[in-house]
Amino acid sequence: MALFFSQIWAQTNPSTPAYPNKPVRMIVPFTPGGTTDILARAISLELGKAWNQSIVVDNVPGAGGSIGADRAAKANADGYTLMMGHIGTLAVNPSLYPKLPYDPVKDYAPVAWVARVPNVLVVHPNVPVKNLRELVAYLKSNPGRLNYGSGGNGSAANLATEYFKMQTGTSIVHIPYRGTAPAVNDLISGQIQLMFTGAPALVTHIKAGTLRALAVSSPKRLDALPDLPTVNEALGLKDFEADQWYGVVAPAGTPRDVVMKLNAQINSALSSDALRARLNSEGAIATPTTPEAYGQLITSEIARWKPVMTSGRVKAD
């Protein structure tokens, strides 16, 4: 039966009948250990199993993800270079960097929206607060005393925390890192005191008690942390939402049949009970959809966050 469908695919898609017939490179424009890396490896594993082909994850960090994103944009448009993009590289960077070397709309072919990832606000256990209301009160009484970390200026964590500061009228000093993982490590060690970043990078530490979770950025609670209130619940707000999102893109000009094959296989993986359970356990929500819908998300999010970026509250290194 598998051979039959393989033959049908070859007959109906003559431009790339054997795709993939060699290893596929998945660029992650950040350091290992962060949410982008976690999701890229989960999807790469599923693609590799389905196609019996190597999907090699390549971490290319720097400049808020711009170095890796530029490399992906300029790669051969043959389906053998992909990138796990996210809100920062595809929606925030166009307003953050005046000379961005790539255009997130023109230089990529949207492939698949992989997941929506609520941000979780965590503090080091030594911070003298037990809930979000206490944190806001502490921050207002001690402006600029606490430091927060992020994966870099313009990263999703930076954006979420600046949005939180705007909504609560608080002051927290930003310490940018070259990736989420080193920021989390310094938070655990007490070098910084606070972080508001993607749940997958934090859930293990929260459950182990090395970090104290105070709230989640999404409108609904997370299955992975059902006792954790949303920011709206904790502060009596109505419309606070600062989730991250992640998805696969390919260089512009990648053959349509390759894009559709990738989309179908990724969506199939995201629809499986096993991967959904794995993502839910880490605080990520699978979002299988069409390449067109994912492309529309990218465009709308660029417009959504531009006013925040151009306000001068978030600046590049």
Q: Which pLDDT value is given to residue 2?
A: 41
Mind listing the pLDDT tens digit for each residue in 148-166? 999 887 777 888 898 899 8
Neighbouring C-alpha atoms within 13 Å toward the C-beta of 118: 28
Residue 85: which pLDDT band, with cuts at 50, 70 and 90?
Answer: very high
Give the chain's domain count. 2
Residue 75 near residue 253, CB atoms below 8 Å: no
Tell me: do 85 and 227 sit in the same domain: no
Q: Inform me whether the pLDDT recorded for 310 exceeds 80.
A: no
Tell me: do 108 and 249 sit in the same domain: yes
Q: Which of 235, 263, 288 is the last residue of a domain?
A: 235
Q: What are phi and psi of 281, to 5 degrees?
A: -65, -25
Tell me: do 107 and 198 sit in the same domain: no
Mean pLDDT value across residues 170-175: 94
Tell me: do 221 and 307 sit in the same domain: no
Give the CATH number for residue 293. Answer: 3.40.190.150
Residue 280: which pLDDT band, with cuts at 50, 70 and 90?
Answer: confident
Q: Give a yes or no: residue 11 inside a domain.
A: no
Q: Residue 63: give the domain boundaries.
A: 17-116+244-313
CA dihedral of residues 279, 108, 294, 40 (deg, nearest 10)? 0
Q: Name the one residue in this structure whose structure tokens are 């424009």.
A: 29
Q: Which pLDDT value is given to residue 311?
A: 61
Q: Give a yes or no: residue 305 inside a domain.
A: yes
Tell me: do 226 and 123 sit in the same domain: yes
Q: Give a yes or no: residue 250 inside a domain.
A: yes
Query: At what angle are helices 35-51 and 256-271 packed, to 10 degrees?
Result: 100
Residue 195 near residue 149, CB atoms below 8 Å: yes
Q: Which ranges constitute the DSSP H helices of the chain? A: 2-12, 35-51, 66-73, 87, 93-96, 132-141, 156-168, 180-189, 203-208, 231-235, 256-271, 273-281, 291-308
Mind listing the pLDDT tens digit for each residue in 92-116? 888 888 889 999 999 999 999 999 9
Q: Give a yes or no: residue 277 inside a domain.
A: yes
Q: Find the length of the chain.
A: 317
Q: Which pLDDT value is given to residue 11?
A: 46
Q: Name the one residue in this structure whose structure tokens are 């959504």.
A: 304
Mind listing the pLDDT tens digit for each residue in 18-77? 899 999 999 999 989 888 898 999 999 999 999 999 999 999 998 888 999 999 999 999
Q: Which of 95, 9, 48, 71 is nearest to 307 (CA)?
A: 95
Q: DSSP state, 230?
A: B
Residue 229 near residue 221, CB atoms below 8 Å: yes
Range 34-69 burial, b when 16+ CB lie within 10 A, else e = bbbbbbbbbbbebbbeeeeeebebbbbbbbbbbebb
Q: Inform me whether the pLDDT recorded for 1 exceeds 50.
A: no
| CA atoms 59, 50, 248, 276: torsion sign | negative
Tell me: do 93 and 151 sit in the same domain: no
Tell me: do 85 and 129 sit in the same domain: no
Q: Inform me whether the pLDDT recorded for 215 exceeds 50.
A: yes
Cβ count within 10 A of residue 224: 21
Burial class (CB in 10 A: 0-12, 13-18, 19+), 226: exposed
